[in-house]
Amino acid sequence: VLRRQFDVNVFGLVETIQAVLPAMRARRSGVIVNVSSIGGRMTYPLGSLYHGSKWAVEGLSEALHYELSALGIRVKIVEPGGVNTDFGGRSFVFTTDPALTDYQPLVDMATAAMQAQSTSGNQEPDEVAEVIFTAATDGTSQLRYISGDGAKALLTNRYSPEQDEQFVEGFRAQFGL
């Protein structure tokens, strides 16, 4: 599970960048748009591997943003929130070892909390595509593009210094921690 998550979200991204960089460096221009997630800037319990991979995307992209700007190459990060796709189906990998009974109460609470979350506020895939298009074509050096009103609200609350601890405590309460 660890290898698959990082192969897709991190190593595949790095290999793609390595493939396009020589041509971009030769032209002294280009735009790299990496799709992360709000899960690259905040976490849910039991999402360690997913979040770890998305935080890696964030760190790699931000560092490349600085490193490549002198070469005329812009790096952008798109951070979608909930999207009406099958992410919760075949894309969401969740495994648990019932023999690790210490974690079972958390697994039960997190599973119930995830199932109870409404998807009514999720955005459609074409909305994310519009944000990706904007990032690729706006001609700015803006680094991050948040996609979706729900994502904007979550990240605003998460990174507001006065609300950060309240945000963390709210998640702890939601997941019974």
Known catalytic residues?
Answer: 36, 50, 54
Distance CA 120, CA 9 (A): 26
Q: Is 11 left (phi over 0), alpha (psi -120 to 50) or beta?
A: alpha
Q: Edge to edge, what strands does the sheet with 30-35 contain?
A: 30-35, 73-80, 144-147
Q: Which two tokens stand for residue 174?
A: 């939601």
Neighbours of 136 (CB within 10 A): 15
Residue 170 Cα distances to 77, 159, 173, angstroms: 27, 14, 5
Q: Which two tokens stand for residue 162?
A: 């006065």
Distance CA 58, CA 76 (A): 10
Q: Terminus-to-terminus CA distance in the chain, angstroms?
A: 25
